[in-house]
Amino acid sequence: MFYVSCSMRVVSGIQPSGQIHIGNYLGAIKQWISLQEKNECVFFVADLHSLTVPYEPKELQNKIIEKVIAYIAAGLDPEKSIIFVQSQVKEHTELCWMLNTVCPIGELERMTQFKEKSKKFKNNINAGLFNYPVLMAADILLYKAHAVPVGKDQEQHVELVRSIAKKFNQKFGETFPEPKSMLPKIGAKIMSLADPKKKMSKSDDPKSYISLFDEPEDIQKKIMSSQTDSGKDVIYNITKKPGISNLIVIYGLLADKTTEEIEKQFKGKNYSEFKKSLSKTVIEYLEPFRRKQKELLLRDVYVKEILNKGKLRAENIAQTTIQEARKKMGLE
């Protein structure tokens, strides 16, 4: 992660699909929490993005609220950060349309995530899935963000956002800063517990990830049965031992230990002893998150208030930018 001394505008979001897991936390949310101390932060639930793959409309509102609760339970402070739901600020979709007209199709065709999702959802390759990164560009540029804290899988999308900003500025005059993605040095790509060659993903089997609110027994079960390589030494080697290396990364980040310290601590011990210790660490780390979540689940009105306030604060910035962009494009 890079640190800057002066305040900057920071934007990021998470889709409401599936459950927030430790990959999302270590790749994105953990950075958000430290960034909110000194920067102007805008964090939202990307509900419009989640419409691009099959979903259950009746469940969407609950899933959105669940994510807002997860943000706060994990440490986002609504007094410091602007927290809201993407679709409630209409300027996101308006700017998305405008940016569609400066984004070349060829650049969208190159996106790895589009290629992967088109394979996974063969019967639903909709235009929204294709234009997904343009909506991300609108999310980011609407707030004139400088930094976008995300995991590795979103890096390519943020690169495209830079390119869209540059094209818009060239065509219509300097308007948007070119935002940079901000990846944590360690933990930008946490791997699946079931298959350490694949990224941990909300849309996979729950056994493959640890949700922020999993009960202690489930955390223990998932870690103890996670796929590890043959051999018994607790040593970091990403090519030869991807399973144990992924667990070492998680352990290090949650226990605040370096790889060397962990290797030394478990010298002469086997995987099972290491996994037991990791389970304990994860359970203890997530305990306050579970407690806070239970409290917030009973405070419906409070959560809605946060979202209403967040929407107003976000709109305030969004409306100024959209007016500027409309003028520059000749719409006013």
Q: How far is the CB of 199 from ligand TYM (least distance, A)?
A: 4
Distance CA 145, CA 10 (A): 5
Q: Catalytic residue at 90?
A: no
Based on CB atoms, which residue is closest to ligand TYM, 155 or 263?
Answer: 155
Choose, from 30, 63, 67, 117, the residue flagged as catalytic.
117
DSSP letter (8 states) at residue 146: S
Q: How far is the CB of 73 from ligand TYM (least distance, A)?
A: 16
Q: How far is the CB of 270 from ligand TYM (least distance, A)?
A: 26
Write phi, then psi, for 306 (nearest 5 degrees).
-60, -45
- Contact status, residue 184 vs residue 174, Cβ threshold 8 Å: no
Choose, from 63, 199, 275, 311, the residue flagged as catalytic.
199
Q: Is the dihedral of CA 260, 285, 187, 248 positive or negative?
A: positive
Q: Is the dihedral of CA 195, 199, 200, 203 positive or negative?
A: negative
Choose, from 63, 189, 202, 222, the residue flagged as catalytic.
202
Residues that bind ligand TYM (CB under 6 A): 11-15, 23-24, 26-28, 46, 49, 136, 139-140, 148, 150-151, 153-154, 188-190, 199-200
Based on CB atoms, which residue is closest to ligand TYM, 148 or 278?
Answer: 148
Structure tokens at 36: 């909110």
Based on CB atoms, which residue is closest to ligand TYM, 30 or 266?
Answer: 30
User: Which residue number is nearest to ligand TYM in terms of Cβ?
Assistant: 27
Q: How far is the CB of 152 from ligand TYM (least distance, A)?
A: 6
Based on CB atoms, which residue is closest to ligand TYM, 151 or 252?
Answer: 151
**The residue type at 100:** N
Q: Catalytic residue at 202?
A: yes
Spell out the residues 6+ positions from residue 159 whose beta carbon is closer than 8 angstroms to its own.
Answer: 181
Q: How far is the CB of 14 from ligand TYM (least distance, A)?
A: 4
DSSP letter (8 states) at residue 76: -
Residue indicated by tokens 């343009």: 134
CA 75 to chain centre: 15
Other CB atoms within 10 A of residue 12 CB: 25
- Contact status, residue 46 vs residue 14, Cβ threshold 8 Å: yes
Based on CB atoms, which residue is closest to ligand TYM, 95 or 266?
Answer: 95
Q: Catalytic residue at 197?
A: no
**The residue type at 182:** M
- Give the catalytic positions in this structure: 117, 199, 202
